[in-house]
């Protein structure tokens, strides 16, 4: 017997008519977005930007000179203008230099000599590079004038460099296996060289003067050092073979080095651990024996001592550091009979921008042993301002 179906609670009198859709739900308010301008201004303030103008001043009491450098960005940070000059205590300005620098071109102008040094570089393609330097008045600024053209691929590279219109260097490389190099000095002899890779970390170089003056120089480089054989003139102006070389190797938890040059042999052994460093050395046939001893008492204290047995000269230095911004040194040198002490505020090898208050200060005291009254106190101050 079939079970009757339950009655429909919502009967539809017209079976062909679709049911009415449910009434729409009240719409939720649109999501509120934060203020874009406020976020942009906050992000711009959070990203560190270089100052518009940077001024660095340095004073050295030994020379009684002030040295100043000023730089600032131009054209939305696409270029930089630099100015440097010196002045003494009387305010007389000397050695003014003006520079304009971009990524591919720069100009350095010497105001006193009215000379300009032009530098340019251009990457024509990933495999072709051009570089050039031109000194308007030759040898006035002190930097060499050169033109460099380089072309390289994964298996072949070529380059040509000309310096001061006096020398030219050609270089041709076939991957990492073979290299040819030719160097010529105008009004002088040149040099041609070939370098071959025999095995990993092993290279053989053959070089000869142009025009040739004898046998080529042969140099073999290997992981433990290198050895070269070449001809040279002795005291009687006779050409004889000369052997030079250097060897390095591990010996009893240290490094032993042997350097042979011009019939002189120098043997040096260096032992170093976390607290102690010991470096004896001897030169033959002069029999000049010396040693260096360094002891680190703590991460902040270190003592160094050097002694030469042939001259009985010795020197010592004590160093104490407090963090990276404070360093004290004191020492004595018997060869010049001078005692000294120095205090560094700010990283000795760092820049002023990383020092506290962007300022570095050094004080030094020198006390001659033979004339204590002529002791001198010197200081050096370097300060940077960001405007």
Output the six-digit token pair for 87. 């002045």
Q: Is 130 inside any structural domain?
A: no
Q: Is the pLDDT of residue 168 over 90?
A: no
97 in a structural domain: yes
**Is 228 contained in some domain?**
no
Residue 308 lies in a domain: no
| 183 CA to centre of own chain | 26
Note whether residue 238 is domain-resident: no
How many other β-carbons are positioned within 10 Å of the β-carbon of residue 83? 15
Query: Cα(59)–Cα(65) distance, rounded to whole angstroms?
Result: 6
Most confident of 9-18, 145-154, 182-191, 235-244: 235-244
The predicted pLDDT at position 181 comes to: 72
Asked if the model's pLDDT at residue 342 lies above 90, the reply is yes
Element (H, E) at 26: none
Q: Which CATH number goes with the domain that contains 55?
A: 2.20.25
Q: What is the percent of the chain with per-residue pLDDT over 90, rounded to a whole number?
A: 34
Contacts of 47-50 with C-beta under 8 Å, sequence gap 24+, read 50/77
120 touches 131 (CB < 8 A): yes
- Residue 71 within a domain: yes
Instruction: Find the domain containing 76 and state its range.
Output: 51-103
State how far the Cα of 155 lies from the Cα of 226, in Å rounded to an integer: 26
The mean pLDDT value for 333-361 works out to 88
Q: Are 371 and 357 in contact (CB under 8 A)?
A: no
Q: What's the pLDDT tens digit per position in 62-110?
A: 888 999 999 988 888 788 999 999 998 888 888 899 999 998 889 989 8
Q: Is residue 89 part of a domain?
A: yes
Residue 84 domain-assigned (yes or no): yes
Contact status, residue 216 vs residue 207, Cβ threshold 8 Å: yes
The pLDDT tens digits of the residues spanning 206-231 come to 888 777 777 888 999 999 999 999 88
Looking at residue 184, its pLDDT comes to 65
In sequence order, the β-bridge partners of residue 242 are: 230
Q: How many CB atoms lie under 10 A from the CB of residue 84?
A: 16
Round to whole Å and give the CA distance between 165 and 169: 11
Residue 233 neighbours by CB under 8 Å, 6+ apart: 239, 240
Alpha helices in 211-298 (DSSP H): none
234 to 199, 210, 231, 238, 263: CA distances (angstroms): 35, 21, 10, 5, 12
Q: Is it the case that residue 3 has pLDDT exceeding 60?
A: no
The single residue listed with the structure tokens 């100052």 is 51
pLDDT in the model for residue 29: 47
Peptide bond into 211 cis (omega under 30): yes
Averaged pLDDT for residues 174-203: 73
**DSSP β-bridge partners for residue 113:** none
Kindly report the pTM of this predicted structure: 0.63
Looking at the structure of the chain, the number of domains it has is 1
pLDDT at 85: 92
E-strand stretches of 41-145: 53-60, 65-74, 79-88, 93-101, 105-110, 115-125, 128-135
Question: What is the pLDDT, as a whole number, of residue 278?
Answer: 94
């Amino acid at each position: 017997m079939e079970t009757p179906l339950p009655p429909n609670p919502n009967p539809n009198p017209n079976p062909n008519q679709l049911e009415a859709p449910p009434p729409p739900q009240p719409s939720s308010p649109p999501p509120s977005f934060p203020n874009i301008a406020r976020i942009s201004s906050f992000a711009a303030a959070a990203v560190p930007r270089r100052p518009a103008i940077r001024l660095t001043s340095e004073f050295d009491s030994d020379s009684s000179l002030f040295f100043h450098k000023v730089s600032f960005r131009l054209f939305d940070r696409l270029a930089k203008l630099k100015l440097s000059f010196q002045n003494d205590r009387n305010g007389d300005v000397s050695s003014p230099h003006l520079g304009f620098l971009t990524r591919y071109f720069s100009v350095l102008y010497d105001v006193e000599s009215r000379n300009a040094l032009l530098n340019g570089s251009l990457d024509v393609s990933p495999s072709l590079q051009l570089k050039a330097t031109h000194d308007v008045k030759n040898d006035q600024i002190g930097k060499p004038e050169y033109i460099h053209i380089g072309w390289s691929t994964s298996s072949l590279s070529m380059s040509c460099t000309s310096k001061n219109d006096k020398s030219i260097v050609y270089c041709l490389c076939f991957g990492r296996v073979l290299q040819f190099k030719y160097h010529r000095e105008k009004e002088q002899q040149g040099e041609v060289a070939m370098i071959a890779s025999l095995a990993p970390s092993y290279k053989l170089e053959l070089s000869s003067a142009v025009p040739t003056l004898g046998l080529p120089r042969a140099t073999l480089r290997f992981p433990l050092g290198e050895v070269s054989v070449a001809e040279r003139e002795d005291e009687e102006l006779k050409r004889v073979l000369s052997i030079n070389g250097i060897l390095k190797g591990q010996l009893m938890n240290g490094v032993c080095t042997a350097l042979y040059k011009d019939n002189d042999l120098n043997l040096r052994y260096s032992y170093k651990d976390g607290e102690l460093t010991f470096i004896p050395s001897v030169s033959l046939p002069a029999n000049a024996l010396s040693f260096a001893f360094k002891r680190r008492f703590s991460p902040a204290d270190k003592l160094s001592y050097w002694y030469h047995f042939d001259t009985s000269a010795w020197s010592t230095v004590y160093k104490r550091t407090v963090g990276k911004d404070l360093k004290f040194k004191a020492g004595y040198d018997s060869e010049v009979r001078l005692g000294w002490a120095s205090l560094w505020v700010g990283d000795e090898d760092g820049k002023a921008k990383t020092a506290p208050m962007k300022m570095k200060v050094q004080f030094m005291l020198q006390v001659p042993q033979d004339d204590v009254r002529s002791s001198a106190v010197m200081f050096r101050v370097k300060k940077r301002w960001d405007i």
